[in-house]
């Protein structure tokens, strides 16, 4: 009788916690949310996608602990616009963040200030919010992370950053553009260490520091982006059979990234937080292959065609895993297209945070748990300078740019169910489908705006030559 009474009390208590989790402004019962983003990770370089050059047991284990989204995308094939889409849940072309913020008026260069970020929304729902790692959304104080909803920030503002840090390093382009030093909040730090390890150390400290409330952590490693700086403890684990120095450098970064993911997930288990933490893992874009003009890192995207910077699958389809033990089924695959834009509405749904009607992302939870039978999106779209694409079901219409010949392909049609490598162009055989998909893309594009700044000439053929400011 006493056991029955106790069971009733526990059931009632669990319902009360559930109601509290749904109430705006209440933190009780809300899950932690961890978004791990790799930089320029090749699709085929991890074990779960067939990579064999180095083992990636921790990334593979994370994939196995949840759902592996086989058609997981990002909203741009380049670093900064992809992250702008992630942070806002909106196609970044809707607000002009089409290219990397290279040169311009720094007061206007970065994620537009009228766009609310996932950190803004989750902080309003009672979450502690943190960014550790790469920002790449603007340099001046108004565009920096602590002005965009993040309570805690430890990282760098630029697109690429050195891995090996030294206390006597000097900023190369002024403080905001430093490739050698790290910000803590708004203050530059001079540190010794290796960024992958430092970012992981800071992540564990952030998790422990916020044990009394739900937290959102955007953990944005710079691995495996260039420069290919090797730390001996990671480089020694790359097999001798890999002889190309650039490939060895890339793989050493990947070994470090995999260890880092393992340290974070092990800490969640050790502290008992794993079952109350939703984890997303993906790359900001595809691997850059061996293209020197893309700061190449030798990332391999097989069987996908194309690389970072292109609207072919190799530039926009990425490793994409979602894990939440006990809430999302483990060891499953999900084949319908999903996109990084979905992170924000998914997180907000769990946090009880308000979302706006103009979001392009969708709450993925009902789809990943099997509650919803339909696909999250009727179609996905891309625009990146002269490049464009639409995926509707298994059909993809794409106009991509060859950076070496500096030419555009024109519309090409592929059946991704049969031809994920985009080798058999069906445009001539199916003109009606081309017309329908191109019309759908044109309709979507009417809600986009002109880019707020030029990109590099690689991504933006209309860009003027970049002029390096003279030192005073």
Catalytic residues: 79, 136
Q: How many CA atoms lie within 13 A of 238 on its CB side?
A: 22
Burial 2-17 (b: 16+ CB within 10 A, else e): eeeeeeeeeeeeeeee
The angle at the Cα of 439, spanning 436 to 441, to the nearest 5 degrees, equals 110
Closest of 232, 231, 250 to residue 242, by C-alpha:
250
Beta-carbon count within 10 A of 461 CB: 13
- What three-state secondary structure class fits 346? helix
**Token representation of residue 111:** 């994620």
**Token representation of residue 470:** 């003279």
Closest of 150, 132, 118, 122 to residue 344, by C-alpha:
118
**Token representation of residue 410:** 């024109």
8 A C-beta contact, residue 189 and residue 182: yes
Q: How many CA atoms lie within 13 A of 252 on its CB side?
A: 22
**Token representation of residue 331:** 């060891």
Q: What is the per-residue DSSP string for 331-390? A: TEEE-S-EEGGGHHHHHHHHHT----TT------HHHHTTS--S-S-S-EEEEETTEEEE
Q: Give the C-alpha separation, 318 to 332, whole Å.
A: 17
Burial 310-337 (b: 16+ CB within 10 A, else e): bbbbbbbbbbbbbbbbeebeeeeebeeb
232 secondary structure, DSSP code: H
For 125-229, where are the alpha helices, taking DSSP H only? 195-209
**Which positions ≥6 away from 404 have C-beta within 8 Å?**
none
């Amino acid at each position: 009788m006493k056991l029955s009474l106790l069971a009733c009390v526990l059931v009632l208590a669990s319902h009360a916690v559930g109601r509290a989790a749904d109430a705006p402004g209440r933190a009780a019962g809300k899950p932690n949310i961890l978004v791990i983003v790799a930089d320029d990770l090749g699709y085929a370089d991890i074990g779960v996608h067939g990579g064999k050059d180095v083992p990636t047991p921790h990334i593979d284990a994370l994939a196995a602990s949840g759902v592996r989204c086989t058609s997981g995308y990002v909203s741009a094939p380049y670093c900064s616009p992809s992250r702008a889409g992630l942070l806002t849940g909106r196609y970044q072309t809707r607000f002009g963040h089409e290219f990397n913020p290279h040169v311009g008026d720094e007061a206007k260069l970065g994620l537009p200030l009228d766009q609310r970020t996932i950190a803004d929304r989750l902080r309003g729902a009672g979450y502690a919010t943190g960014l550790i790692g790469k920002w790449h959304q603007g340099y001046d104080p108004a565009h920096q992370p602590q002005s965009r909803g993040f309570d805690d920030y430890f990282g760098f503002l630029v697109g690429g950053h050195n891995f090996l840090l030294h206390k006597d390093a000097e900023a190369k382009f002024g403080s905001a553009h430093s490739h050698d030093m790290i910000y803590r909040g708004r203050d530059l730090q001079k540190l010794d260490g290796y960024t992958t390890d430092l970012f992981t150390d800071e992540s564990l400290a952030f998790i422990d520091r916020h044990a009394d409330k739900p937290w959102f952590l955007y953990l944005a490693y710079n691995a495996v982006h260039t420069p290919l700086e090797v730390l001996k403890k990671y480089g020694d684990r790359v097999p001798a059979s890999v002889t190309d120095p650039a490939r060895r450098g890339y793989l050493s970064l990947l070994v470090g990234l995999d260890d880092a993911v393992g340290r974070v997930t092990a800490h969640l288990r050790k502290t008992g937080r794993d079952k109350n933490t939703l984890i997303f893992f993906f790359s900001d874009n595809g691997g850059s292959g061996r293209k020197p003009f893309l700061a190449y890192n030798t990332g391999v995207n097989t069987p996908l065609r194309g690389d970072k910077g292109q609207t072919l699958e190799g530039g926009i389809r990425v490793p994409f895993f979602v894990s939440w033990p006990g809430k999302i089924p483990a060891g499953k695959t999900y084949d319908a297209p999903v996109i990084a834009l979905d992170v924000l509405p998914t997180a907000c749904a769990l946090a009880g945070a308000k979302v706006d009607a103009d979001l392009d992302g969708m709450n993925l939870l009902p789809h990943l748990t099997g509650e919803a039978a339909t696909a999250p999106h009727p179609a996905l779209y891309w625009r990146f300078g002269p490049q464009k694409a639409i995926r509707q079901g298994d059909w993809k219409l794409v106009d991509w740019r060859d950076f070496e010949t500096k030419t555009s392909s024109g519309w090409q049609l592929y059946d991704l169910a049969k031809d994920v490598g985009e080798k058999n162009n069906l445009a001539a055989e199916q003109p009606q489908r081309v017309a329908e998909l191109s019309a759908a893309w044109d309709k979507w594009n009417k809600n986009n705006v002109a880019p707020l700044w030029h990109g590099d000439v690689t991504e933006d053929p209309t860009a003027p030559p970049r002029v390096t400011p003279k030192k005073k």
